[in-house]
Structure 1
Amino acid sequence: KKNIILFNVLREKLLYSATHSLMHFITASVGLPNFSEFLGVLAVDGVNVVYCDSSSKTFETRQDWMETAFKNNTQLETYKNFCFKNQPVIFRSMIRSLRELFNQSGAHFLQRTGGCEWDENTGEVTGVIQYGYDGEGFIEFDSKTLTWTTLKPEAVILQQAWNKEALITATAAIVTAICPQRLKLYVSTGKSFLQRKVLPSVSLLQKSPSSPISCHATGFYPHRAMMFWRKDGEEVHEGVDHGEILPNNDETSQMSVDLNVSSVTPEDWSRYECVFQLSGVEDSIVTKLNKRVPITVAVLVLVLILIAVIGFAAYKKKKGERFK
């Protein structure tokens, strides 16, 4: 019952919140051949708007409306300096220090996720900064307590240095004042793009007759969405496995939710339905479960293989006749 309550609270937050985010994602490395020393991405509400690569001197604005947002201010130059000048130097120095701290050599990489979230309804702002070293969390900034906290014992040296008052004041100003100010500008400028609604295609899949039924939705925007199974109009929790919301390469998202049907009789299949709800859209997409609806993936693969074999055999035969 506790899980059901938490699930419903999460659904309300996902579907009806008006939270926006401005985040930057940085990956810096040393000793990795054919990999840039410094890569940066700036994202608004999960949409990539700026990309930079210091090694190839590449700087790209990925959305037309960001060009408008950069007019009449110095933010574009700030981001370019951020990518090509000061940050690569800082990250190289940090990696060098971390290699010495861990007594390491060879290839290593340092990542940073930073930015802010702003709730348009409440005005609440939450700052986010986290560093990861070689794929593991290392140290993060708590914007509520205005302190750095360690995620690894070895990060205590950085924690002591960064928790000094002057640095804390500067860090807090970035994530709780400068960042939300820019975020509001970008959200206002890109409103028509960021607030658009794109409904997904929903399909039911099953790998084998004994496998769970997977309800799969892809191509939806924004990423704030919920999907669940119902039986006779009532939400089902037992035997249901919720997958994560994953990004597609076109700024849309996909997700799946599986239903274990091992104990469901064929006669009862029609009592189940998959429900998809998108934030900002009143109507749900309802897909009824039917014995004839699920596509058995394994069978589909066999059919494709069979088609390929037949095609190859025909090609070989035709080729053989050509040289007779």
Structure 2
Amino acid sequence: IYSNAFLLKILFFSVRQCDKILLHSYIITYTKVQGIPGVEFTAVTEVDDQEVCYYDCNIQKLIPKQEWMKKTESEDFVKEVALRNNQTCTLFTKEILNPFSLSGAYIYQRRYGCTWDSESKHSNKFDAFGYNGEDIITVEENKYILSKQARDKWKEDIAEGFLERDGKDCVSWLNDFLAFGKSHVERIVPPKVFLLRKDPSSPVVCQATGFYPANLTITWTRNGRAYNNTVDPGEFQLNEDGTFQMSSTLRVTPEEWKWYQMCTKLSKIKRKHFLLNCVLADSATLNWREWVPYGCGLLAVIVVLCALAYCCYGKCRKSSKGKFLSQCTVHSCGVCVFVFVS
């Protein structure tokens, strides 16, 4: 599709041990289905936007979805997670569904969880109950809000009991999962960033892929100020390997490129050096500026980058033929830069 496009790709391939994801999340989605054979009750657990396990009440079995969960040394932990989900099967029927006297086919869901800042220790809890796609119970400011249907069937203290019990457990369960899946859940994978366009009159697309966690932001500025007027932001999409991808499209003419800058940033990380800045120049050249990782000698990095870039530039120019863009590489301080020139 982008055979006549310009491309630029930047890869970070080293991550410092002191980097740390600050904000974590724990979400469980319970689903009770009536009227569909073979489907009774399921529970899906997500940690930091990754599905880690699935529980099927029909077979009373916990199914790990991540390799670290399958290989965990603590069988007791896996059994405890399975037991909790099994108890919830009974709880759903006894305390939640029975008061409604439901009959026929229906889908009943509960989605609850919390976010937790590992540095400030602040947590935020959320909870919602749904019946056939409509919210009947939600949580606002740590207080349950019941719909008329729910108020007619439930006592409010039952709802408050859920918040009191599950709210306290949420952060504790989150920390247990983080402890057992630390190497996977807390990993940091910087993005591969591409700038693409189909032809000279097409919009510029910033494509970031292969990053983890899903905390990437893509922003555009005009003359140093945030610009959103002709920007089409994308949404996070999950890759097959568990990483994420995202894109953002800027719709301006090539003559206006010199006024714009693109920035991608992995946020919610303790040391925020995964920050890339690009100044759009013209259809033939892209001037990229890169924020150097902490702990590297800035002067040394600049000297090495300039020297290697000069050598690579000569080789690229010699091998560049036609409209497709050539590539060379520069390595410095754990940074791999792919520069495409025409």
Structure 2 Cα separation of the partners of residues 187 and 202 of structure 1: 28
Secondary structure of the structure 1 residue equivalent to 2:273 = coil
Query: Is the 1:66–1:186 Cα contact (8 Å) retained in structure 2?
Result: no
The question of 1:77 aligning with 2:79 is answered: yes
Q: TM-score, normalised by structure 1?
A: 0.67
Distance 1:187 1:78, change over 3 A: closer
Which residue of 1 is the match for residue 218 of structure 2? 227
Give 1:197 shift: 1.6
Q: CA deviation at 1:172?
A: 1.1
Q: Which residue of 2 aligns with 1:282?
A: 273
Structure with higher RCO (Cα < 8 A, 6+ apart): 2
Distance 1:197 1:30, change over 3 A: same
Between the aligned partners of 1:208 and 1:202, the Cα distance in structure 2 is: 19
Q: Hey, what does 1:49 align to over in structure 2?
A: 52
Question: TM-score, normalised to structure 2's length?
Answer: 0.64
Question: Is residue 144 of structure 2 the alignment partner of residue 148 of structure 1?
Answer: yes
CA distance in 2, matches of 1:20, 1:70: 23
Q: Deviations over 1:74-108 (max 9, x none)?
A: x533432343x4333444565576574xxx73x32
What is the rounded CA distance, in whole Å, between the counterparts of 2:71 and 2:245 in structure 1? 30
| Partner amino acid, structure 1, of 2:63 | E
Q: For the residues of structure 1 that align with 2:148 and 2:209, how far apart are their CA atoms?
A: 41
One-letter amino acid of the structure 2 residue matched with residue 194 of structure 1: V
Q: Distance in 2 between matches of 1:188 and 1:89?
A: 28
Greater share of helix residues, 1 or 2?
A: 1
Corresponding residue for residue 28 of structure 2? 24
RMSD: 3.5
In the alignment, which residue of structure 2 is the partner of 1:173? 165
Whole-Å Cα distance in 2 between the matches of residues 278 and 202 of structure 1?
Answer: 12
Aligned AA (1:274)? M
List gaps (5 residues or longer) in structure 2.
1-19, 286-342
- Name the CA distance, whole Å, in 1 between partners of 2:284 and 2:148: 56
- State the shift of 1:188 in Å: 3.2
Distance 2:240 2:110 in 1: 22
**Inter-partner Cα distance in structure 1 for 2:240 and 2:130:** 24
Moved more, 19-28 or 242-251: 242-251
Shift in CA distance, 96/197, structure 1 to aligned 2, threshold 3 Å: same
How far did 1:278 drift?
A: 1.1
Q: In the alignment, which residue of structure 1 is the partner of 2:131?
A: 133
Point out the structure with the larger strand share: 2
Deviation of the 1:28 alpha carbon: 1.7
CA separation of 1:121/1:98 partners in 2, compared to 1, >3 Å: closer, same or farther? same
Which residue of the other structure, out of 226, 243, 250, is the alignment partner of 1:252? Answer: 243
SS of the aligned residue for 1:199 comes to coil
Distance (whole Å) between structure 1 residues aligned to residue 265 and residue 78 of structure 2: 37
CA contact (8 A) 2:200 2:283 kept: no
For 2:218 and 2:251, locate their aligned partners in 1 and report how far apart those are by CA, in whole Å.
15
State the partner residue of 1:238: 229
Distance 2:36 2:197 in 1: 41
Change (3 A) 1:138 1:237: same
